[in-house]
Amino acid sequence: MNVADSGTVLLFLLPLFSTACFPDFPGVSGDSAERSSPGDTDEADDPTGEEQPEDTAPKDRGDSGHQPWDTNTCIGFTDADGDGFGGSEGQLVPCDDLPLGVVDNDDDCDDTNDAVHPDGVEACNGLDDDCDGTADSEAVCGCPVHPREGRPYLFCADNANWEKAVEACRSLDSYDLVVIGSEQEQAFVFDAASRVDHGDWWWIGFHDRNAGPELEPDAGWEWVDGSAVLYTNWATEAGQPDNADGDEDCAHLYDGSGLWNDLPCGTTAYHGTQMHFICETTR
Ligand SMILES: [Ca+2]
Ligand SMILES: [Ca+2]
Ligand SMILES: [Ca+2]
Ligand SMILES: [Ca+2]
C-alpha cells in the first residue's frame, strides 16, 4: 500500500510520525530538525568537514528519499514463514526496497505455516490451507464437513462398525472418532448429523472395551483419545447403557434424540438402521 496513494492512510499514520514510531522507521533518525532539512548534506552541517560517526550508517537516507511523507513509503507486512504472504503486523518500509522478510500484503491466514496461504491447496487435515475461511471440505475429506468454532467435523454416512469407523477417521490427517466434551458440542454434533442423515445412528468415540465385568454396564467408559470424561448423554430413561447380552462396549447417538446407547462394537446395522460415524479434527 503506497502511503501517498491514500489520504485516509496518511491521516491515520500522521500521529505515528510524531510519536515513538519514528525512530523505528528504517533510515530515519529521531532528529526532527535534520529530517526537516532534506536538502542539507552532512558535510554542510559540520563546519569542520570531519565525518561524524553517527552520520555514517544512515548516510543514504537523505539521498534515497525514503521519508515517511514521500510517495516511496509503503506499509509492509512481516512474512514470518516465508511463503510470500504477510501476517497482520505492518510497518513503514521503502516501496522499492522491501526489507528481507517483509512483503506488500497481509493475506496470510497462518503466518507460522508455509503450506498455508491464499495459493495453498486444501487438504483434509483440519487446516484452512487456502485461507478461504473454511478448513477442509467434502471434496478433500470424502464426507460432509460441518465446522464448529472453525474446527471441522466429518459426518460420514458410510456403513461401518465401530472399529472401522475409528480406522477411517484416523486414516485422515489429524482426525479421530468424535469426542464430545459438553452439552453445547453434543447439540452441535446431533444437529449437524440430523441434517446429513435422518433415521440412522452415529458412532462416537466413547467405549468401555477396557473395562472389566465388575464395571459394567455404566462404569469404565473412556474416550478414544484419552480425553477426560466431562459429559455424557446416555438414554438413561431407556436403561442405557445396559451392556445387553454382556457384549456392548461402544457408544452411538440415536436418531431423533441424540441420546447415547451402547451396542456391540462390531455392529454395522441394527435391524435395518445403519451405523454411520462422526470424525473430529484433533487440531
Ligand atoms: Ca507468510
Ligand atoms: Ca485443510
Ligand atoms: Ca480452506
Ligand atoms: Ca445398549
Same domain, 147 and 272: yes
Same domain, 21 and 153: no
Query: 119 in a domain, yes or no?
Result: no
Same domain, 166 and 249: yes
- By residue range, what is the domain housing residue 222? 138-281
Same domain, 164 and 277: yes
Query: 111 in a domain, yes or no?
Result: no
Same domain, 64 and 193: no
Same domain, 164 and 82: no
Same domain, 142 and 247: yes
d(CA 126, ligand 3 centre) in Å = 9
User: Residue range 215-241: average pLDDT?
Assistant: 97
This prediction has a pTM of 0.74
d(CA 132, ligand 3 centre) in Å = 5
d(CA 125, ligand 2 centre) in Å = 5
Torsion of CA 81, 83, 86, 92, to 10 degrees: 90
Tell me how far apart the alpha carbons of residues 129 and 132 are, in angstroms, rounded to a whole number: 8
Are 205 and 176 contacting, i.e. CB atoms less than 8 angstroms apart?
Answer: yes
Same domain, 32 and 93: yes
- Give the model's pLDDT for residue 105: 97
User: Residue range 260-272: average pLDDT?
Assistant: 97
What values do phi and psi take at 262, rounded to 5? -100, 145
**CATH code, 165:** 3.10.100.10
Same domain, 145 and 253: yes
Sign of CA dihedral 89, 93, 99, 102: positive
- Give the model's pLDDT for residue 230: 97
d(CA 88, ligand 2 centre) in Å = 21
- Give the model's pLDDT for residue 36: 37
What's the total number of domains in the chain? Answer: 2
**How does pLDDT run across 178-189, given as a tens digit for each residue?**
999 999 999 999
- Reply yes or no on whether the pLDDT at 37 is more than 90: no
C-alpha cell at 203: 458412532
d(CA 79, ligand 2 centre) in Å = 21
- Give the model's pLDDT for residue 243: 97
Q: Which amino acid is at 86?
A: G
Same domain, 277 and 145: yes
d(CA 91, ligand 3 centre) in Å = 28
Query: 109 in a domain, yes or no?
Result: no
